[in-house]
Amino acid sequence: MNRDREKTTRLVIHCSATPPKMDIGTEEIHQWHIRRGIKSPRGSLTGYHGVIRRDGTLEYGREMMEIGAHCRGINQSSVGVCLVGGIESGSSPPAPEDNFTLQQMHTLVDVIRFCRIVWPDIKIIGHTEYNNRKACPCFDVQEFLTSWRTA
């Protein structure tokens, strides 16, 4: 069975829903996804294609053309990238918070620029724009696109 996307129409921005002091990467998210039953036929780490750590490091997960497991309903046509963070420290229940670092946002701009080169017509969205029951990625992606130079 072919597990590569036939087309790529969206880049979906996610967050890990973790507090700012919790610096995790693909390995930890991979373990969470295994516990949730998310698997990759190629053994790739996580359902995301990339994870952006707190220091701005981009860690690769799924192969770029492999179908992801990050946004039910559009995995067949999308790339998913996850920013580590997005939850307020010490709140109960956990509250969404835009607590991403400047380094993470610079890396996100680089990812967006790369995707626009590879797929010139790609639409950039936050997970919440596809599923409004989710706060993820805990910031307004469309506002981000207009306020940062992402072209």
The pLDDT, as a whole number, for residue 54 is: 97
* Residue ranges covered by each domain of the chain: 10-147
Q: Which residues are catalytic?
A: 14, 48, 127, 134, 136
Tokens of 122: 């790609």
The pLDDT, as a whole number, for residue 149 is: 76
- Is it the case that residue 55 has pLDDT exceeding 50? yes
- Is it the case that residue 130 has pLDDT exceeding 70? yes
- Do the strands 50-52 and 78-83 form a parallel or antiparallel pair, or are they unpaired? parallel
The pLDDT, as a whole number, for residue 1 is: 45
- Is it the case that residue 151 has pLDDT exceeding 80? no
- Local structure of residue 132 (DSSP, 8 states): T
- Is it the case that residue 35 has pLDDT exceeding 80? no
More confident residue, 44 or 89: 89
| Most confident of the following: 9-18, 23-32, 43-52 | 9-18
Residue 117 CB partners (closer than 8 Å, separation 6+): none
The pLDDT, as a whole number, for residue 42 is: 59
pLDDT in tens, 90-120: 878 889 999 999 999 999 999 999 999 999 9
Superfamily of domain 10-147: Peptidoglycan recognition protein-like (3.40.80.10)
- Is it the case that residue 36 has pLDDT exceeding 50? yes
How far is the CA of 10 from the CAs of 15, 34, 43, 141, in angstroms? Answer: 16, 25, 23, 13
Of the candidates 86, 83, 105, the residue with the CA atom closest to the CA atom of residue 95: 86
How far is the CA of 133 from the CAs of 21, 52, 129, 130, in angstroms? Answer: 25, 23, 9, 9
pLDDT in tens, 38-48: 666 656 668 89
Mean pLDDT, rounded, of the chain: 90
